Amino acid sequence: MAKVWFVYEGPDPTVGNAAYELPAREAIEKLAVARDSILPQRPKFNPTNPLGRIAGYKHVVLEIDESDVASTGWAPGYYRVSGGPDEVIEVLGPPNKPLPTE
């Protein structure tokens, strides 16, 4: 299963659980993720921003792991989703797991 993460800017990009877990192929199609949007490492956006968690989620990342490779043909890793958290919620509905509120 692929994971969809809502990501803060700043030094602590994620907290808690992924917002969604769903089949990788479904996530790629519904979120229109581009194969070339792979990130070189675990994502940190604007890591020096001290307001990261205070400012709320700003980015969305799809995590594809080794178990998803056969079904997708994509390399394992983190892929940037072009829409923000609000757009992803419009497409996928409410997150499957409660998101941290702090």
The answer to whether the beta carbons of residues 79 and 37 sit under 8 Å apart is yes
**In the Cβ-directed half-sphere of 90, how many Cα atoms lie within 13 Å?**
6
Over the stretch 26-44, which tens digit does the pLDDT of each residue have? 999 999 999 999 988 777 6
Cβ neighbours around 79 below 10 Å, total? 24
Over the stretch 40-62, which tens digit does the pLDDT of each residue have? 877 766 556 666 666 567 789 99
Report the distance separating Cα 93 and Cα 88, nearest Å.
8
pTM above 0.75, yes or no: yes
**Can you list the alpha helix ranges (DSSP code H) found in 1-102?**
24-31, 52-55, 69-72, 85-92
Which is nearest to 62 in space by CA: 1, 2, 14? 2
